[in-house]
Amino acid sequence: RALGRIRKECPQFISSPCRFISAVMGCVAYSRDEITVISNSHNHAIRYYLPEDRHASYIIFGDGECDGISVSIGANSSVILKSKPVI
């Protein structure tokens, strides 16, 4: 249900082009406008450092912690982040 709600609230998943940020050593990250998806396929937790244009993002789905500069992601899991608007 949570993913369905996010899809309805974030039309970027359908209408925006996908921009791959990185795909290295079991971690894939991509963005669609202000949405960022990071998937960790490792059997251990990781800390993913966000690109500068993704700083100040916050988690809208998934278990993890985001301090605005980096995200901790559990083993074999994913997070979806949304960038805060720049004022």
For residue range 16-29, list pLDDT tens digits in order. 888 999 998 899 99
Does 12 score more than 80 pLDDT? no
Question: What is the reported pLDDT for 63?
Answer: 87
* Residue 79 pLDDT level (bands cut at 50, 70, 90): very high
Instruction: Write down the residue that tokens 């559990």 correspond to.
Output: 74
Question: What is the reported pLDDT for 5?
Answer: 75
User: Could you write out the DSSP letters of every residue in the chain?
Assistant: -HHHHHHHH-THHHHSPPEEEEEETTEEEEEETTEEEEEE-SSS-EEEEPPGGGTTEEEEESSEEE-SSEEEE-TTEEEEEEEPPP-
* Residue 8 pLDDT level (bands cut at 50, 70, 90): confident
Does 75 score more than 90 pLDDT? yes
